[in-house]
Amino acid sequence: MTKAERMAIYHKCGGRCAYCGRKIEYRDMQVDHIVPKCMGGTEYNPSCRRCNHYKRAHSLETFRDMLRTLHKRIRDIYICKVAEDYGIIEVEPWDGVFWFEREMGK
């Protein structure tokens, strides 16, 4: 991939991760295959390291489903239960809409 292609992907979401919406620096951006490369994907989104790592070689819908159930898995962790009891954290379900869908109408 050329630097110009990477730069175009970076600017696609205004310097933000397409999935969580966090600001990312160009040097920290990872190029994510929207449809995994192993499934023939040729379109890309800018991604932060965490989102790209968590998505791995999953489809967008599988990634969405993983995030939709994440709050249930977090609540199974004992220390998270303690943190919720003390009001240190609030674990809420995710609405299922990625940043690029909400902010860019896709």
Q: Residue ranges per domain, the chain?
A: 1-57, 59-93
CATH topology of domain 1-57: His-Me finger endonuclease fold (3.40.1800)
Q: How much is the pTM?
A: 0.89
pLDDT for the residue numbered 76:
94
Instruction: Measure the CA–CA gap between 2 and 97, rounded to whole angstroms.
Output: 30
For residues 11-27, average pLDDT: 98
pLDDT for the residue numbered 7:
97
| pLDDT tops 80 at residue 21 | yes
The rounded Cα 10 to chain-centroid distance in angstroms is: 14
Per-residue model confidence as pLDDT tens digits over 24-80: 999 999 999 999 888 888 999 999 999 999 999 999 999 999 999 999 999 999 999
